[in-house]
């Protein structure tokens, strides 16, 4: 008797076709990059590392920090508008 082993792929089939992400940033000019901590423990510390790495890659960049303060809350419309007005790029971070 020969045992037959069938391997199943646990990933589901995507329901939508992937689309390329069309946003970009010219790294040769000066930019303000927003760093948004989501309120989970460690998210601010994680952004410390992100800022350090980005500053090495983009020396002309300046950084502005934002912190939701509470992982279960969402940023207000006015906060999002302020971030959009101040920053040309944003990194939203997680933590745990």
pTM (2 d.p.): 0.73
Element (H, E) at 78: helix 77-86
Buried b (16+ CB within 10 A) or exposed e, 18-45: eeeeeeeeeeeeebebbbbbbbbeebbe
Closest Cα partner for 86 from 68, 53, 67, 62? Answer: 62
Domain chopping of the chain, boundaries: 32-93
**pLDDT tens readout for residues 45-58:** 999 999 999 999 99
**pLDDT tens readout for residues 26-85:** 888 889 999 999 988 889 999 999 999 999 999 999 999 999 888 888 889 999 999 999
- The residues facing 62 across adjacent strands are 32
């Amino acid at each position: 008797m020969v045992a037959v082993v069938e391997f199943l792929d646990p990933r589901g089939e995507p329901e939508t076709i992937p689309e390329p992400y069309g946003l970009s940033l010219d790294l040769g000019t000066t930019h303000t990059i927003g760093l948004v901590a989501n309120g989970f423990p460690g998210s601010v510390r994680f952004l410390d590392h992100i800022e350090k790495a980005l500053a090495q890659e983009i020396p002309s960049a300046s950084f502005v920090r934002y912190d939701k303060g509470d992982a279960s809350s969402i940023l207000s419309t006015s906060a999002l508008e302020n971030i959009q007005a101040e920053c040309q790029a944003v990194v939203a971070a997680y933590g745990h």
